[in-house]
Structure 1
Amino acid sequence: MLLDIPAAEAAWLIAALLAGGALTGVLAGVFGVGGGAVAVPILYELFRILGVPDEARMPLCIGTSLAIIIPTSLRSFSTHYKRGAVDMSILKVWAVPVVLGVIAGSFIARYAPADLFKLVFIGVAGISAIKLLFGRDSWRLGLDMPRRGLMRLYGGLIGVLSSLMGIGGGQLSSLFMTFYNRPIHQAVATSSGLGVIISIPGALGYIYAGWPVAAQFPNVAALQHPLALGYVSLIGFVLFSITSVITAPMGANLAHRLNKKRLETAFGVFLLLICLRFAVSLVLS
C-alpha cells in the first residue's frame, strides 16, 4: 500500500506518474517548455485521489511541477545549447527580472486563494492554445526584439506567471519571441534555458510558501515530511523525474525534425481540455 491506498490503485498511480514524466520530458524538448502544462493536471488528479484538500492541492501541484522542471529543463537546455540554437543574449537580459518575478510569485503563493492558481493556468494556457491552433505568421508585435527596458518588464511578468502556473516559462517566452519575428526553433531552444532560471528559485520558493501546510493538515499524509517539503511533493518529483530526464533529449532532437504544425495542434487541443477541466472545478467549488 502507498499512503493507505490499495496496492492495485497505487500501481496505477505510479504508472501514471512515470508515463506523465515521459510525456513531460518529450514536450520539454519539442516545445521548449518545462512540461508543467502536462505535470500540473496529472498531479492535480493524483493529489485529489490522495485526499489533499482543495486549498492546498493546486499550490502543491505547482510547487512539485517546478521541482520536476529542474532536471528536465537542464537536459533540454543542454541539448539545444550543443546545437547552437540558444540566443544567450536574450537569456542574459531576462535572467534577473525573471528570478525577481519568480520570487514575487512564490510570495503571492503563500497567501493567495486556491482559485487564483487555476485562473492563471486557464488564462495562460488558453492564450497559448489559441496561438498554437489559430496563430499565423502575420501575428506580429514587431520585426525585432524590443528595447532592454520592455524586455525586462516582459521577463518579470513571465517569472510571476510561470511561478503561479507551475511552468518553466517556455510557453510564454516562445509565444513572446515568435510575436517579435524570431524563428520558432530559436524560440523553442532559448525558452528551454528559461526553464532552468525559473524552476530552481521557483521550487525553493514553494518549499518556503508551503512550509506551514504540514501542520495545518496533520491528517493528510501526502503533505507530511518526508513525503513532501512545503508545497513540493517528493513522491511526484522522484517518479516524474525518472522518466522525464530520459526523454527530454529525445524531444529536443525531435524538435528539429518533426512537423511542428501537427505537434502544435495536438498540444493546443490538450491545453484547451485542461482549461475546461479547471474551469469546471472552479464552477463546482
Structure 2
Amino acid sequence: MSNNLFKNNAKDNLKSRQRANNILKTIFFLCTTFGVVILIVLIGSVLKDGLKYLSLNFLTGFPSRIASKAGVLPAIIGSAYVIGLTALIAFPLGIGSAIYIEEYMSKNKFREILELNISNLAGVPSIVYGILGLAVFVQTFMFGRGIVAAALTLSLLILPTIIITSQEAIRNVPKSLREGSYALGVSKWQSITGVVLPFALPGILTGTILSISRALGESAPLIMVGAASYVAFLPKDLFSAYTALPLQIYNWTSRPQAEFQQLAATGIIVLLVFLLGANTLAIILRNKYQKRLD
C-alpha cells in the first residue's frame, strides 16, 4: 500500500514538473518571439526611411544644412579613429589583466574583492565613464577634447567586459593541457603563450570584439569628453575636433525637418552595417581558431 502511494506521489510530482516546464518554455518562447518581432519592425522602419538617401555620395560626402547634399564621411572616419585607438588600448590591457588575475594571483580575499569590483564596473552606466573621462583625461591630463580622450574613456568603459570574458575563456582551458606543457619542461610563461592563450583565443576574441561593438554605438561618453555633433571636415590628428556616427545621427534626429529624420535612418543603417560587420568578424575568427583546436 505504501509503495503504491509513493509511486502515485512520484507520478504526480513528475507531471506537475513537466507542466511547469512546458509553461515556462512557452513563456520564454513568447518573450523571445516578441523581442524578435519588435527588432524586425524597427529594422524595417529604418530601412524604409533610410534607403532613400543611402548612396556613394552620402558615404563620401560631408554634413550639410541641405539634406540632399549631406554626407557622413567625417563621422565614419572619426568613429574609425576612436574605435581603432580604443582597441589598441583596451585589448592588451584587458587580456593582460585577465592573464595576471587567472595565472599569477593567488586566491585570497584581495582577489575576490578585485573581481567583485570588476564585475560591478561592467554594469556602471556609460555616462559615468564619460564624466570620469572629462575629469581625468580632459581636465587633469589636458589631452583636450580630441580623439585620444575619447579613446581612453571608451577603453575604461569596455575594459571590465574584456577582462571578465577573457578570464572565463582562460578559466575554461583544461587543467590537463597545462600539466602536459609543464611535463615537457617549459616555463609558466611559455605554457601561457603556447598552450593556454591559443586554446582560449576564440572566447577572448569573441568577447573583445563584441565589447568594441558596444563602444561603437556609445554616444553619452563622447558627448561628455567633447565630441562635436556637427563637423564638416576630417580630423587632422588625434587631438583635433571630431564627430562619430552616433553623434551625427543624434544631430539629424534633433532637427524638425522630415528629410533629416530620414538621413538619421540612413546613418543608422551605416552604423548597423558596422556593428554587424564586427559581429561577423567575431564569429569568423572564433570558428577559425576553434577549427584549429579541433
TM-score calculated relative to the size of structure 1: 0.31
Bigger radius of gyration among the two: 2
